[in-house]
Copies of this chain bind each other. A is one copy, B any other.
C-alpha cells in the first residue's frame, strides 16, 4: 500500500473537493455497517474500519477528475462499493488463512468463528451491489460484477496453480490481474463513467497499477522485513503460492527450480528459501519489472487535465513508494 503521507499529498493535490467526498464515503461505510444488524455492525464494521488507506475509493474520485463534484452521489456510492468488495474479500481470505490478525486488529474469523466470518463477507458483497444498484446505473453494476467475478476467479486460479514451482510467468501475471488488477480497474472505470470520462483508458491504467501493486506485494512477502510487513517472510511459499521472485529465481538457481514447497516444515524453512531467492538477485529484478509496469500504466493515461494527470501519477508512484 502506498504510504499514508503520499495519499495525503494526493488528496491535497486533487483540490479541496476530494476531502469532503472521501469523508462521505467513510460515513456511508459506517452507515452500511451499522444498518444490518448487530453482528455486521460488530464484525463488518471492525473490518471496514481496519480496511486501510482507502486506495480504491480514492482512485474512483481521481479517475473522475476535476468534474467529480458534479457526480458526487454516484461516485460516493461507487467508492463505497469497491471498498465493500475489498473488505468482503479480506474477510473471506482471513477465513481461509485462519489469520488471527489483520493490520494489528483481530480478524472476524478469530473473534467470531468461520460461520460468522463467511456470512459477514457474503453480506458485505451483497451490500456492495445494493449500493451501486441504489444509484440506478446499470453500467456501474456491470463494472462491479466483472471485478468481483475476477477476484473469485483469481482465487480459484491461485488454488489450481498451488505448489507448482514451474507455473508459467503468463499465468502468474493473469492471476495477479484477476486478484488485484480487476478491482483497481473497476475503481477507475466507475470514476470515469460517472463524469463521462475516458473509461476504457482509465480502466487500463487502473488494471496496470493494480498489477504493479500485487507484484510489489509479492516481493515484500519474500524480502520482508517482518517488522514492516507484519507477517513472517515466505508465508506465500508455505501456502503453495508461487510468485514473481521465485519465478525469476528458478531460472538462476536450479535447486530453486526443483524445490518441493509441500515439504517446507515451517517458517524457518520458508525463510531459508527466501534468502536463497534473494541471493539470486531476483528481488531486484522483480522490483524492476514492477516499476516497468508502473511506467506502462502512466504511459496508458489518456489526455487529461494537468491536475488530474498529476494526481493519478502520484498514486501510481505511491504504489512503488513502499520501497523508498
Residues of B within 8 A of A145 (CB): 126-127, 129-130, 133
A123-B138 contact, Cβ under 8 Å, with A114-B96, A118-B118, A157-B37: no
Minimum CB distance partner of A155 in chain B: B119
Contact B159 A130 (CB under 8 A): no
**What is the interface of chain A mostly: helix, strand, loop, or mixed?**
helix
Residues of B within 8 A of A110 (CB): none
Contact A122 B151 (CB under 8 A): yes
**Cross-chain pairs A/B with CB under 8 angstroms, 30 sampled:** A36-B153, A37-B153, A37-B157, A37-B160, A39-B159, A39-B160, A92-B118, A92-B119, A92-B122, A95-B114, A95-B118, A96-B115, A113-B159, A116-B156, A119-B155, A122-B125, A122-B151, A122-B152, A123-B149, A123-B152, A125-B126, A125-B152, A126-B149, A126-B152, A127-B145, A129-B141, A130-B145, A130-B149, A133-B142, A141-B141
A155-B115 contact, Cβ under 8 Å, with A130-B146, A133-B145: yes
Residues of B within 8 A of A156 (CB): 37, 39-40, 116, 119-120, 123
Q: Which A residues are within 8 Å of any B CB, using their own CB? A: 36-40, 89, 92, 95-96, 112-116, 118-123, 125-127, 129-130, 132-134, 136-138, 141-142, 144-146, 148-149, 151-153, 155-157, 159-160
Minimum CB distance partner of A92 in chain B: B118
Contact A126 B141 (CB under 8 A): no
The CA of A107 and the CA of B138, in the complex, are separated in Å by 34
